[in-house]
Amino acid sequence: MIESFQSALPSIIATTCIGVMGWAAGWVRGQRDKAKRLADEHTDLMGLPSAIGEMERRLNARFDELDGRIDKLETEMADERSLTVAQLKENIVAIEQRAAERGHITPKELESANDLADHYFARGGNHYIHAVMLNLNERMPIKGESID
């Protein structure tokens, strides 16, 4: 039996060596593939800062464009508000002038003047109209048909 074992020993050793070498080759291939994946991921990650920088540049350009649009809209709104305030003031003063020429104000004119004044002050109108409204509401005689 020892003789048959001795004669089989080279085959056993060769088979074992081939098995170990096959396992080692598979392990090395696996490590090589893992290293290649890591290298690819590294390359991808190294490209992120430039990609992020490009996205940031594009976003900042878009924000600058939107800021410009917002500034333009704010200017237009301020111009519109100023125009509206001026028109309201003009209408209130016109009511006061007509009433002063007649020597009295009608209930409808007084109601209109008060409505216009509310809008005028809500839009930031100045205090000149306070004096006009004080004159219309407290000093100017009211004549005409009531608005009930």
Reported as a single tens digit per residue, the pLDDT across 28-46 is: 888 888 888 888 888 777 8
- Cβ proximity of 124 and 116 under 8 Å: no
Please tell me the pTM assigned to this model.
0.54
- Please tell me the distance from the alpha carbon of residue 99 to that of residue 132, in angstroms, as a whole number: 11
| Model pLDDT for residues 111-132, shown as the tens digit of each residue | 999 999 998 898 888 888 999 9
Cβ-based neighbours of 89, under 8 Å, separated by 6 or more = 120, 125, 128, 129
Task: Indicate the SS3 state at residue 105.
Answer: strand
For 142, which DSSP code? B
